[in-house]
Amino acid sequence: GENVEQHPSTLSVQEGDSAVIKCTYSDSASNYFPWYKQELGKRPQLIIDIRSNVGEKKDQRIAVTLNKTAKHFSLHITETQPEDSAVYFCAASTIGRSQGNLIFGKGTKLSVKP
């Protein structure tokens, strides 16, 4: 079945630095890749997603890149701020698959030090 590997499991950066989280997936049919942010004690929230017909998507300080050939995608956060501290989950799914589901990576705990 589909498997999503996420690295690193923990990441510590200084405020203002960039942070990069990488995920690889196993099912070449996967075509939808969301990223969720979960702050301590709170519910996960979608921060950005990408579909396989594009290679990159940006939203202010956040960007996601997708390499379909290598089957990996990455989250890039620039100019990090303390409020970016959270656990980030990548996931993969297949649009249109009637029995598809959403497979998550194990998460990356990002700490931004002021």
Partner 1 sequence: KAGVTQTPRYLIKTRGQQVTLSCSPISGHRSVSWYQQTPGQGLQFLFEYFSETQRNKGNFPGRFSGRQFSNSRSEMNVSTLELGDSALYLCASSPVAGVYNEQFFGPGTRLTVL
Q: Dig out the tokens for 56 from the structure.
A: 């990159």
Taking the C-alpha atoms of residue 13 and residue 62, their distance in angstroms, rounded to an integer, is 15
Taking the C-alpha atoms of residue 100 and residue 78, their distance in angstroms, rounded to an integer, is 33
| CA within 13 Å, CB half, 79 | 3
Q: Does 20 bind partner 1 (CB under 8 A)?
A: no
| Piece of 17-25, 42-50, 54-62, 78-86 that binds partner 1 (CB under 8 A) | 42-50
Q: Does 19 bind partner 1 (CB under 8 A)?
A: no
Q: Does 25 bind partner 1 (CB under 8 A)?
A: no
Q: Does 95 bind partner 1 (CB under 8 A)?
A: yes
Q: Does 11 bind partner 1 (CB under 8 A)?
A: no
